[in-house]
Structure 1
């Protein structure tokens, strides 16, 4: 059983060719199933190389995501490599759609956005203002790795 997870924990995420990326657990989001929120850092490192956690958490953030963090750790997908302070305020906007999974809807007019632990704000059609908001679904570890490697998700398609 993995040790108790704490906000600030940093994890090594194995990537192809013996490399790793790093993520940090930064918040719990009561707005999205009380799920774990991570920030994913840009950069790829040698999985066996030395690690400076302070350097890792100072890297540019590539994206934020909601994840099944306990699953990632319990099954050994990600390794806890330490803990570091997190920013006082996480400035990220998430988006979701009430029509997700409905094959009959080609263009939804039922979008919503939110910030961590804040209520959903109904926005209707997804305007350009909100297109850059992060996908708010709680994602499995494979989806996080996929975006770290390719820069995008292929949600709803086999990995």
Structure 2
């Protein structure tokens, strides 16, 4: 599958352990973050031997949003495309990044930027109010997305905000 074959609305399945899988949907490209793909991951874990209805899958609650390279996960066989359902919803998610990312000696950052898909970065300093709930805005490796699906957090060091 080439990048040209990926379409907004594509739904993917990823096995998260020996018994369960979770689903996500490709929902946007974010020019603010290197034109990377944005996915929304759904909350429900399904038994690996059950084929679920696409409508039921996309009507599930959203667990999290992330930037990623979908093709990389396909190439590594970390997930597979299972179908497509038209996606036209407005996405109202805030992403965050810190200039202190990649500096493990800094546990708490006070130098944060936030943005929404295809909008400019805004320097906010400390994370306050709704920005405290912003999603990590880095482009996440496929194995780290699966780790978060299973454990509820990423498997890499990222500064805190309080």
Query: Could you tell me the TM-score, scaled by structure 2's length?
Result: 0.89
Q: CA deviation at 1:155?
A: 1.7
Runs of 4+ deviating beyond 3 Å? 103-107
Hey, what's the Cα distance between the residues in 2 that align with 1:148 and 1:103? 24
Q: Deviations over 1:62-115 (max 9, x none)?
A: 110001211001221101000012243111000000121134544322201000
Q: CA deviation at 1:50?
A: 2.1
Per the alignment, residue 72 of structure 1 pairs with 73
SS of the residue corresponding to residue 118 of structure 2 reads: coil
Query: Could you tell me the TM-score, scaled by structure 1's length?
Result: 0.91
How many residues are treated as equivalent by the alignment?
A: 157
Higher relative helix content:
2
Query: Is residue 2:9 matched to residue 1:13?
Result: no
Hey, what's the Cα distance between the residues in 1 that align with 2:57 and 2:39? 14
Hey, what's the Cα distance between the residues in 1 that align with 2:31 and 2:16? 30
Hey, what's the Cα distance between the residues in 2 that align with 1:155 and 1:56? 28
Per the alignment, residue 117 of structure 1 pairs with 118
CA RMSD of aligned residues (A): 1.7
| Partners of 2:104 and 2:157 within 8 A in 1 | no
Return 5+ residue gaps in structure 1 as ranges.
none
Hey, what's the Cα distance between the residues in 2 that align with 1:47 and 1:87? 29
| Partners of 1:21 and 1:45 within 8 A in 2 | yes
Return 5+ residue gaps in structure 2 as ranges.
none
Query: Is residue 2:128 matched to residue 1:127?
Result: yes
Q: CA deviation at 1:152?
A: 1.0
Comparing 110-119 and 78-87, the one that deviates more:
78-87
SS of the residue corresponding to residue 122 of structure 1 reads: strand
Q: CA deviation at 1:128?
A: 4.2
Hey, what's the Cα distance between the residues in 1 that align with 2:89 and 2:45? 26
Comparing 48-57 and 126-135, the one that deviates more:
126-135
What are the within-5 Å matches in structure 2 for residues 61-100 of structure 1?
A: 61-100=62-101
Gap change, CA 1:51 and 1:105, over 3 Å in 2? closer
| Partners of 2:66 and 2:137 within 8 A in 1 | yes
Hey, what's the Cα distance between the residues in 1 that align with 2:23 and 2:2? 18
| Partners of 2:95 and 2:115 within 8 A in 1 | yes
